[in-house]
Amino acid sequence: MIGNIVAGLFSTPSPPTVTANYLVIAGGGGGGHDEGGGGGAGGLRCTVGSTGGGGSLESALSLALSTNYTVTVGGGGAGSTTSDVKGSNGNNSVFSTITSTAGGGAGSGPGSGAFNSANNGGSGGGPRGNRSGTPGTGTANQGFSGGTGPIGFPSGGGGGAGAVGGNGTTVAGPGGAGISTSISGSSVAYGGGGGAAWNGVGAAGGTGGGGAGGSIGPGTNGTPNRGGGGGAGGPTGNNAGSGGSGIVIISYPDTFTITIGAGLTGSTPAPSGGFKITTITAGTGNVSWV
């Protein structure tokens, strides 16, 4: 009995922690050249409202105080500027142990071969239509695949965080829808796929920052800090739009104070409803709490 009491007196207490909810979205993929497919949205992982890929809502992190945690905001991938180059994948975003996968670049045309197929990613890119290209696949619990664009059909839209990209049917496929979350304090949509282009008509980008396909001009870029895919370029050699950059948003009790380290661009408005919300829009560095 005495031994148990003595052991309890000298046991090490658990270190204090902060509970952090988060939205981590990667950069979107670039669209395809000359009536190509739409770029895939960046992978999206979230603990508030809904998360990407139709998966189960993520769990908040319990983080030690006075400890550095890595944050990286991924940039969007470049849109294709030539028929023999796909749209580029975006870049991953990171918060502590959470990594969201970059959006997949889209297939380009009008050449043939491997350049017609789209890249895999957080959400997959859309292929160049009327070819044997295949859509890119999404990542489980982050995003969906791109739409189809088989022989005899227009190009497919890029996958979104909330839905598969639109298939090329009689018209080019639109970008897949993103998802909405209120982690920032109001409902905002993120992770829309890029729209494809075909026969002088550009398809719409997915809700949540997806760029529209070009009609007779270049594709539209994905919206910065929404992780949307880039829209495809229009006919006769038009360039595609680039993917939108990602974002990291962290919500935590207002009894704690965050330090945003060098290399990161971020802000923390006045607390509301017992919480502080830190939004990081660019860079790589560390954050910590006291």
Report DSSP letters for 4-53, one per residue.
HHHHHHTPPPPPPEEEEEEEEEPPPPPPPTTT-PPPPPPPEEESSS--GG
Within a domain: 133? yes
The pLDDT of residue 223 is 98
Within a domain: 250? no
Q: Say how many CA atoms lie within 13 Å of 253 toward its Cβ.
A: 10
Within a domain: 35? yes
The pLDDT of residue 111 is 72
Within a domain: 263? no
Which one-letter DSSP state was computed for residue 286?
E
* 290 residues of the chain, pLDDT tens digit each: 444 444 444 556 667 899 999 999 999 999 999 999 999 999 999 999 999 999 999 999 999 999 999 999 999 999 999 988 999 999 999 999 999 999 999 999 887 678 999 999 999 999 999 988 999 999 999 999 999 999 999 999 999 999 999 999 999 999 999 999 999 999 999 999 999 999 999 999 999 999 999 998 999 999 999 999 999 999 988 999 999 999 999 999 999 999 999 999 999 999 999 999 999 999 999 999 99
CA dist., res. 81 & res. 84, Å (int): 9
Check if the beta carbon of residue 222 is closer than 8 Å to that of residue 243: yes
Domain housing 130 = 27-59+75-89+101-244
What does pTM read for this prediction? 0.94
CB atoms near residue 2 (< 10 Å): 6
Within a domain: 166? yes
Within a domain: 66? no
Within a domain: 215? yes
Total domains present in the chain: 1
The pLDDT of residue 12 is 60
Within a domain: 149? yes
Check if the beta carbon of residue 61 is closer than 8 Å to that of residue 22: yes
